[in-house]
Amino acid sequence: MTPTRTIARSRVQPAALLGAFTSFAACAALAVFALAAPSAFAAGNGNNTGTAVDEQLAHGAYLARVGDCAACHTAPHGKPFAGGLPLDTPFGTLYSTNITPDPTSGIGSYTYADFAGALREGVAKDGHRLYPAMPFPSYAKVSDADMRALYHYFMHGVPAVAQDNRADGLRFPYNVRALMTVWDTMYLPKGTYQSDPHQSVEWNRGAYLVEGLGHCSACHTPHGMFGQEQAFDANDNTTFLSGGTLAGWYAPSLRQHPDGASAAAVKAGLVGYLRSGRSADGAAFGPMTEVVDHSLQYLSDADLNAIATYLTSPPLRTQFNAKAAPATGAAGAADTADATAVALRAGHVSSTGALLYLNNCSACHRSDGTGAVPAFPKLSGNGLVGDDDPSSLIHIVLSGSHMPSTASAPTPLAMPNFDWRLNDQQIADLLTFVRKSWGNHAPAVSAEQVQKVRATTVSAAR
């Protein structure tokens, strides 16, 4: 099945990932930087170990993958790590910087202490404060040994590129970096990761990766009004990784445990998802595609297992979540004798939404919503479809999506974009139908909700 109109959204525009901030307080403006997410990254870059014989060099290169430094520091078609990727904000544009070892335009003059200061405290060598678009609140947890390996790699494993940093296009007063001093004092966590003696070695390794270099919480933890993540580790029992919204994309809670599923089964599913971006229910999309493409697919089996162990154990997962398990579909495929499916197949179209589904979606996702896993995700019993917050669901229908292309699953399949074809009311009707069929029980979607997401995403879809 070939999509008629595939979307080449191979890169996520930073603009689409920035929050729509209504407060004009200068401090609140900083919030926006915290929400800039990793974006474009030219394929094939970032693999600069060359003939590295040095173990520390190889280790540093691996850690740079885990931290996904290239996602932000390599511009599309740019030289690896030479910076210049624009992060558009409503207050102007911020550019990532050159972190190659060039002594004048890059970080070649950085000592180890300067480097660690930038990564852990958000302070550049010349003393200026960095905005938290650079995820230093997470990197603060990186151990000294790993920080040294990263430094070694950036000094000796990355080719120097002479490319000047671009001046920020931020407007006053948002360009006053000194404001970040206050932010850092209030919100920046201090100290490297400390092992929890009550947990296993594997759990601790997972926690170290997720809370630290992996900076998963930059997207998956809710942000406060000044852009600070509301929690930085699993000791907070409810907020950390409980889901965050980045204008139009919802990075779901990583704490919800499907009813009836064993931790072992969920853990195995997670490892597969993190490595390939695909699971039994669906596939990574939006910013998560980039995370899998450029970072997670390169992680060792041991590290992926450690991450999955941490994510599926207490305290992160303690309670069962009723919402995640629909009436049918709990055990996998939806009941194909489902009344909705029977009616659709017989051509009994009960509502505008059902008709729109039949015409636009059923070719790939089937009239019973079971799709054709793993090529076309199932929509019955799908967590994204059933989520209370429909932002991501609306977003994917408006702008389409492509699956990550990884070594373990190389063909990127695409979901077409419907923004040019369906209006707000049609998408609302269609999604309301999808959210109430085949055992799904999620709240209806309104045209206003679609309009809101459309306003933030349309420019990013092309």
**Distance of alpha carbon 11 from alpha carbon 426, whole angstroms:** 27
Fill in the amino acid letter for 109. S
- CB nearer ligand HEC, residue 21 or residue 131: 131
CA distance linking residue 121 with residue 123, whole number of Å: 6
In 349-423, the DSSP E strands lie at 401-402, 414-415
Q: Select the residue whose beta carbon is closest to ligand HEC and give its number.
A: 282
Question: Residue 274 belongs to what H/E stretch?
Answer: helix 263-276
**Cβ neighbour number for residue 114 with a 10 Å cutoff:** 16
The reply to whether omega before 173 is within 30° of 0 (cis) is: yes
Q: What is the crossing angle of helices 144-156 and 55-67, to 10°? A: 100
Say if residues 100 and 79 touch (Cβ distance below 8 Å): yes
Instruction: Tell me the closest approach of the beta carbon of residue 118 to ligand HEC, in angstroms.
Output: 4
Could you give the CA distance from residue 48 to residue 281 in angstroms, rounded to a whole number?
35
Q: Which is nearer to ligand HEC, 393 or 453 (CB)?
A: 393
Query: Quick one: 94 or 461, whose CB is closer to ligand HEC?
Result: 94
Q: Least distance to ligand HEC from the beta carbon of 274, Å?
A: 6
CA distance 17 to 13: 7
At closest approach, how far in Å is the CB of 6 from ligand HEC? Answer: 8
Q: Which is nearer to ligand HEC, 197 or 250 (CB)?
A: 250
| Least Å from the CB of residue 419 to ligand HEC | 11
Secondary element (H or E) of residue 250: strand 249-251
Going along 265-393, which residue ranges are E strands?
Answer: 320-321
Q: How far is the CB of 12 from ligand HEC (least distance, A)?
A: 8
Residue 53 CB, nearest approach to ligand HEC (Å):
22
- Min. distance of Cβ 412 from ligand HEC in angstroms? 8
Shortest separation between residue 22's beta carbon and ligand HEC, angstroms: 22
Closer to ligand HEC by Cβ: residue 31 or 216: 216
List CB contacts of 106: < 8 A, sequence separation 6 or more.
82, 98, 99, 100, 160, 161, 162, 163
Q: How far is the CB of 55 from ligand HEC (least distance, A)?
A: 19
Output the smallest distance, CB 132 to ligand HEC, in A: 8
Closest CB to ligand HEC among residues 176, 197: 176
Compare residues 48 and 382 and give the one whose CB is closer to ligand HEC. 382
Distance CA 8, CA 5 (A): 9
What distance in Å separates the CA atoms of residue 382 and residue 435, rounded to the nearest whole number?
10
Give the closest residue to 41 by CA, choosing from 93, 9, 85. Answer: 85
In angstroms, the Cα distances linking 313 to 95, 198, 308, 317, 324 are 38, 12, 9, 5, 18
131 contacts 180 by C-beta, under 8 angstroms: yes
Closest to ligand HEC by CB, 281 vs 338, is 281
Q: How far apart are CA 66 and CA 160, in angstroms?
A: 21
Which of 103, 197 has the CB closer to ligand HEC? Answer: 103
Nearer to ligand HEC, 330 or 384 (CB): 384
Nearer to ligand HEC, 94 or 325 (CB): 94
Nearest to 282 by CA among 358, 363, 381, 394: 381
Please, what is the minimum distance in Å from the beta carbon of residue 196 to ligand HEC? 18
